[in-house]
Structure 1
Amino acid sequence: MTSPTGRAAAQDFAGAMAEDAPVFVISVAAELAGMHAQTLRQYDRLGLVSPGRTQGGGRRYSPRDVALLREVQRLSQEDGVNLAGIKRIIELESRVEALQSRVHELLEELELSEGRRMAAEAAVPAGYRRDLVPLRAPSSALVVWRPRTGR
């Protein structure tokens, strides 16, 4: 095990790199998470924390993996959640993140679409706007416009 100052230096190094970069060997990740390497192997087997792998099959943990290991430890020790419960919590949090990301994407699409619609409306003279009928795209319909008479 490294000294407290060695751990702080490793944590500073971890904070300076990409969150998903698989760079830590199991012994370093175990040290950063405050666990035994065998615990990390067990968590990997259970699917709680799945590190990246080298071509030779060695585990490589990212800073995100180390943070997740700390969260697993906290849930287990402080909150008394069993490993099956922790796995379910991790799965649900991952699902929530994916759904939030999708909502963000859809909102951006909607904003872009609304901007295009407003630009198209602005290009049509005001007198014709009441005659416009929206169509669902894509459409293969042939549209014939006939001005209304008697206005």
Structure 2
Amino acid sequence: MPPRSKRGVYGISVTSELTGIGPQTLRLYERRGLITPTRTGGGTRRYSEDDIARLDKITELVADGVNLIGIRQILELEAQNALLAARNAELEQAVESQKSPHAGV
């Protein structure tokens, strides 16, 4: 899967069309802290590929019957888990480099 972009390029109407989520619901998700689109100098919301993927995840959770508070908690835990997994990988790599017979040579 190619990496997604964090750059906000989609306006709210395009994002609504791409995700099937109405503009009012997108605004609600922003107010509830589920999504944080970037803003232009004039204050216009701009959604990124990462935001679209996050909205897809939110849509799945809503369809599964999870309320917005639960969704926020799930998303926060997933983000924490990703950070911990990345840190764990760094530590494992550091340990492996210490085990290398040529380490420090």
CA drift of 1:96 comes to: 0.5
Looking at structure 2, the residues matched to 57 and 104 of structure 1 have their Cα atoms a distance apart, in angstroms, of 38
> Deviation of residue 83 (structure 1)?
0.5
Q: Unpaired runs of 5+ in structure 1? A: 1-14, 124-151
- Higher-RCO chain (CA-CA 8 Å, sequence separation at least 6): 2
**C-alpha deviations, 1:29-48, integer Å up to 9, x for none?**
11111011111111011100
1:60 matched to 2:43: no
Please, what TM-score do these two structures have when normalized by structure 1? 0.62
Task: With the length of structure 2 as denominator, give the TM-score of the two structures.
Answer: 0.86
From 22, 29, 43, give the equivalent of 1:43. 29
> Which region of structure 1 is more displaced relative to structure 2, 54-63 or 81-90?
54-63
Structure-1 residue corresponding to 2:69: 84
3-state SS of 1:105 partner: helix
Aligned residue pairs total: 105
CA distance in 1: counterparts of 2:19 and 2:28, whole angstroms: 14
Give the aligned residue type for 2:11. Answer: V
Query: Match of 1:119?
Result: 102
Q: Show CA shifts across 1:97-118 (max 9, x none).
A: 1111111111122222222xx2
- C-alpha displacement of 1:17: 8.1
Which structure has the bigger radius of gyration?
Answer: 1
Q: C-alpha separation between the residues in 1 aligned to 2:54 and 2:103? A: 48
- Aligned-pair identity (%): 43
Change (3 A) 1:44 1:113: same
SS of corresponding position for 2:102: helix
